[in-house]
Structure 1
Amino acid sequence: MRRVHVCLLPTEILLVVFTIIREEPGTRDSLKRDTNSIAALARTCRTFKEPALDVLWENISGIKPLISFLPEGVISRTAERKLSLRRPLSTVEWKIFAQNARRIHSLVINNCNLDEISEQVVEALVSTPSFALLPNLRKLQWLDDRECFFPLLRTLLVPTITSIKLGTDSSMQLWLSSFPKSALLASLGARCPSIRELDCVYGHYSDICAGPISEAVCCCCELVRLKTGVLNAQALDHLASLLSLKSLHFQLSYGDDDTPPTDSIRMFTSKLDELSITATSHTSLTQCFRNVHFLSCRSVVLSIDSDCMDPDEPYDPLDIPGLIVAFSECFSPVLEQLHVKFEFNYDNESILNDHRFAFGFDVIAPFLQFSHLTMLDLDWLCTSDVDDEAFKNMVQSWPLLEEFHFGSGDRWLVPPSLTFTGLVHLIHHCRHLRRIDIHFTACSIDANSEPFSITLPNEMITWIFVGFSPIVDPKTVACQLHALLPNLKDVVCHGWGGDDDHEEPFDGQWNRVNEYLQVLTEGAVLREKIGGLWEES
């Protein structure tokens, strides 16, 4: 047998090599083969065994892998095929369990993982004879909402944890507020004082969880990223004092008589890179930004909770200019990403056709100072009063844009002043664009005149979203789009979403544009192929 090369003897080098093997990108099948390869390396020689096992067990999903390594006489299956135990574990068997448990640094548990084990397994795990079930755990994701498993969760909360996410395995569902959850959250900071990343967004916005999560946050002095719900003034004061904090996602208070904790928010100065705030109204956001300055923030997400809005009217149009001015005074020109997330999805034509909700250049102008923007999301605004010339002035101020959403989020019936010429200005001045969502009037323009004649095609965009954009002459529009965006394959638009009897005026014409684009694209491919044959001959 050949000896192991002396360069591979240090454990640190072996750990790096085995980690590279495990993390090699590929399909799920290749990932399984890589895991098998590491297991085989562990059986190769004594030198490889411990480093290979450390890498093999470093990141796992669920408790089942640990239980599976117990002796066969201990493990059983229930009638539902859940993993179970015939009897409590002996001291020797706990030592076998601990040999691998101590190697685990990252654990993900979701509802499927918990459905794989029986009550007997849970009872055994929460009765572990040692102080901690996984003594070296660093990262924990607990994605299950059932409180019957909370004793197991408490057993996993150890002082070594630096990253924790509590929630569900559905992106559409939040933790629901309850007393058991609030009791668990209140103890989180004391149990895991070294947390650097905390993600716990709960629903129902009640103080039953707001107080405990605020208490937990006040115990965390090394936070780098925080994503949670409502925080009280004491927690915000604590966060403002942390030099380590770089990313903050939270909600403004949802009480009827509460106002945003502006005095506490004012204490944030130049430390944050990312900020995300969810509020119930544009007014509360405006108050939040009053006399506040985030000098180094590069990414901002502003969300309005549509569930708390007046069902008869989405917002007061008079609130929007004040919000935009307050925002522009709050953040510096280093800002790179701005998302304004507000989906009210109204089918009420009286609102969608109300010109009071349409905004023009003057309202959006305060955003022009953010010349470093790579992503701008204003799809919730009705931008029907922005014409081609005003739009040109806007996009000239954002030359680095890669993703742009502008007025296309809802089915606004107010006719847009922006035409196909405005789209040409966008392509001409923003050379890095990869995604476009825009509300405009698609019409025929003179391809021999500026700006069309001097605009270089964008070959990175393969689809665009046009919302509820009106269109005239689909064939000409398709030709113009193909000239501007030669790799464009699909144009997506709003369907009406109402009764089947309602005739949507633009959907059929945009479908025709897609049909023409398919023919144009196939023709371009064929011409390129023929050109290649001519060059070869």
Structure 2
Amino acid sequence: MRHVHVCLLPTEILLGIFTIIREEPGTRDSLKRETIAALARTCKTFKEPALDVLWENISGIKPLISFLPEGVVSRTRNQKLKTSLRGEWKIFAQYARRIHSLAIDKCNLDEISEQVVEALVSTPSLALLSNLRKLQWLDDRGCFFPLLRTLLVPTITSIKLGIDSSELWLSSFSKSALLTFLGARCPSIRELDCVYDGHSDEFSDAISEAVCCCHELVHLKAGVLNAQALVHLASLPLLKSLHLWLSFDVVDKPPTNSIPMFISKLDELSITARSHTSLTQCFRNVRFLSCRSVVLSIDLDWMDPDEPYDPLDIPDLIVAFSECFSPVLEELWVHSDFGHHNERILDHRFAFGFDVIAPFLQFSHLTMLDLDWLCTSDIGDEAFRNMVQSWPLLKDFRFESGDRWVVPPSLTFTGLVHLIQHCRHLRRIDIHFSACSIDANSEPFSTTLPNEMITCLFVGFSPIVDPKAVARQLHVLLPNLTHVVRYEWGGDDDREVPFVKGWNTVDEYLELLTEGAVLREKIGELWEES
């Protein structure tokens, strides 16, 4: 069979080949673009598919006007690009129609003059980039919003608005007007990322109006949304991820007496709040019928550092959470940090028992559970055993280890054994417990299969007695454990780290026990060979 010459391959195959060249890992972007540009100049068959791949994803305005004839593009005294576009729109359109993805940031806009902006805004065609699918605009200066408006076309399916990849938009009248325009202009949006900083009813209503115009949303990151937008989102069957902010301590109730039921199978829900109270109120006003992963964050910048929360807020929050989500939940992450800045880490009033945690027991599909933001020092070994039996699929478990609590724990080494015994898939454990010597010949230690997947154990400020015995027990329970991690006081705090000497001794013995285990394994292999 004769080989087909590459020039006779169908356009779809050529597009695939050129795309592979563009996305090849380990090669500089400039070199890949030069290669594709050279292919475009090779022959007529290569030209169109190569140019399509070359111009599909563009960063900045500069590449868009770089192909224009000499004299059309020049530079101002401060080295900004300027242009005198007239009859060159036909050439411009030949390249602009190929662009599907455009990323613009502050640096890109700083290198063009007002003349370029005016020329691009006054394009004679219906749209500057008629086939644009994805737009990333990382700048919040109102003087460039006319250009942004020109880029908003009905074909857009993904848009990100911000200052840079991590900072948020500041609310303003011009942004509110732009967002009101966004929903109607781009009704096919599937991914929308517009998280703003600060609370503004006007801005919230604007982004909510935009969201209500989007019926194909799959991924949404937004600031505070009103109740009408939440009702709309709850009805979207394609929604997969949702990131919201809650305003102060008030969450609007739905416009009707019915509670919004999110029917879509959310892979991820992320909620940032300014207090536990606002989270509780939110969970009472919505229902997530099928959500896989939940991330809860408390915005510490908006909280009183002296009174971050009342201990009585936590039980209500956990009850509301358990009523809001279904048992299919797999992951619960909580980003919160209160304890180490004040004396509440020593206050037993902040300690909770089994009854407070009990509402979480219904989530039997959990693979990740973050309880390190709670002081659970009143939970003993038997209560802990009843808890972990409800979560047999756990892979990542964090228990009272996140806020440097030093209230003495009721949980002992026996509780850790219960955890290993009932949660056979664990790969990470962060736990606050009282490490002590136990009888290795008694249950549950004697009947627990060791976990060989865990190599590191985080213990926070866990108290310890008889470090050598604890090291031996850990080695039997977790044979591949190489070291133990604990907290250190941060900043200018000169307090002595609790129990640091005992855990240092554990580390030393673990190293010796691990080396001995490796040596015994090698000797065993030699015996088998002989």
TM, length-normalised to structure 2? 0.88
Assess if the C-alpha contact under 8 Å between 1:200 and 1:228 holds in 2: yes
Per-residue deviation, residues 448-477 of structure 1 (Å, max 9, x unmatched): 444334444434334343333233344444
* 1:353 alignment counterpart: 346
1:399 aligned to which of 381, 392, 395? 392
Q: Which runs of 5+ in 2 are unaligned?
A: none
1:84 aligned to which of 81, 86, 97? 81
Aligned residue identity for 1:175:
W
> 1:283 aligned to 2:280?
no
Aligned residue identity for 2:196:
Y
CA 1:361/1:139 → structure 2, altered by over 3 Å: closer, same or farther? same
Distance (Å, rounded) in 2 between the aligned partners of 1:10 and 1:71? 32
Assess if the C-alpha contact under 8 Å between 2:81 and 2:113 holds in 1: yes
TM superposition shift of 1:8: 6.6
Tell me the secondary structure at the aligned position of residue 338 of structure 1. strand
TM superposition shift of 1:324: 1.6
Distance (Å, rounded) in 2 between the aligned partners of 1:527 and 1:305? 52
Tell me the secondary structure at the aligned position of residue 141 of structure 1. strand
* 1:103 alignment counterpart: 98
Aligned residue identity for 1:324:
I
Assess if the C-alpha contact under 8 Å between 2:205 and 2:226 holds in 1: yes
> 1:11 aligned to 2:11?
yes
Per-residue deviation, residues 141-164 of structure 1 (Å, max 9, x unmatched): 223344443333222221111111
* 1:182 alignment counterpart: 176
CA 1:10/1:325 → structure 2, altered by over 3 Å: closer, same or farther? same
Assess if the C-alpha contact under 8 Å between 1:68 and 1:75 holds in 2: yes
Assess if the C-alpha contact under 8 Å between 1:440 and 1:470 holds in 2: yes
> 1:411 aligned to 2:404?
yes
* 1:57 alignment counterpart: 55
Distance (Å, rounded) in 1 between the aligned partners of 2:46 and 2:212? 44
Assess if the C-alpha contact under 8 Å between 1:436 and 1:465 holds in 2: yes
Aligned residue identity for 2:422:
H
TM, length-normalised to structure 1? 0.87
TM superposition shift of 1:499: 3.1
Assess if the C-alpha contact under 8 Å between 2:237 and 2:263 holds in 1: no
TM superposition shift of 1:532: 5.8
Tell me the secondary structure at the aligned position of residue 289 of structure 1. helix
Assess if the C-alpha contact under 8 Å between 2:346 and 2:405 holds in 1: yes
Per-residue deviation, residues 92-137 of structure 1 (Å, max 9, x unmatched): 3x43333332222122233344445455544443343433232211
CA 1:41/1:7 → structure 2, altered by over 3 Å: closer, same or farther? closer
TM superposition shift of 1:202: 0.7
TM superposition shift of 1:525: 5.2
TM superposition shift of 1:138: 0.8
Residue correspondence of structure 1 range 257-406 to structure 2 within 5 A:
258-262=250-254, 266-273=259-266, 274-290=268-284, 292-349=286-343, 351-406=344-399
Distance (Å, rounded) in 2 between the aligned partners of 1:336 and 1:267? 22
Assess if the C-alpha contact under 8 Å between 1:64 and 1:83 holds in 2: no
CA 1:35/1:493 → structure 2, altered by over 3 Å: closer, same or farther? farther
CA 1:153/1:443 → structure 2, altered by over 3 Å: closer, same or farther? farther
> 1:226 aligned to 2:220?
yes
Assess if the C-alpha contact under 8 Å between 1:252 and 1:260 holds in 2: no
Identity across the alignment (%):
77
CA 1:13/1:146 → structure 2, altered by over 3 Å: closer, same or farther? same
Aligned residue identity for 1:18:
F
Distance (Å, rounded) in 1 between the aligned partners of 2:59 and 2:301? 35
Assess if the C-alpha contact under 8 Å between 1:459 and 1:485 holds in 2: yes
Single out whichever of 56-65 and 394-403 deviates more from structure 2: 56-65
TM superposition shift of 1:527: 5.7
Single out whichever of 197-206 and 240-249 deviates more from structure 2: 240-249
TM superposition shift of 1:405: 1.9
1:201 aligned to which of 178, 182, 195? 195
Assess if the C-alpha contact under 8 Å between 1:402 and 1:434 holds in 2: yes
* 1:42 alignment counterpart: 40
Tell me the secondary structure at the aligned position of residue 287 of structure 1. helix
Tell me the secondary structure at the aligned position of residue 414 of structure 1. coil
Q: Which runs of 5+ in 1 are unaligned?
A: none
Distance (Å, rounded) in 2 between the aligned partners of 1:122 and 1:198? 25
CA 1:496/1:100 → structure 2, altered by over 3 Å: closer, same or farther? same
Single out whichever of 293-302 and 65-74 deviates more from structure 2: 65-74
Distance (Å, rounded) in 1 between the aligned partners of 2:67 and 2:518? 56
How many residues are matched? 527
TM superposition shift of 1:18: 3.3
Single out whichever of 64-73 and 206-215 deviates more from structure 2: 64-73
1:253 aligned to which of 222, 247, 252? 247
CA 1:369/1:99 → structure 2, altered by over 3 Å: closer, same or farther? same
1:192 aligned to which of 186, 194, 200? 186
Distance (Å, rounded) in 1 between the aligned partners of 2:57 and 2:186? 19
Assess if the C-alpha contact under 8 Å between 2:260 and 2:285 holds in 1: no
CA 1:42/1:519 → structure 2, altered by over 3 Å: closer, same or farther? farther
Single out whichever of 502-511 and 526-535 deviates more from structure 2: 526-535
Assess if the C-alpha contact under 8 Å between 1:410 and 1:468 holds in 2: no
Distance (Å, rounded) in 2 between the aligned partners of 1:163 and 1:396? 43
Tell me the secondary structure at the aligned position of residue 91 of structure 1. coil
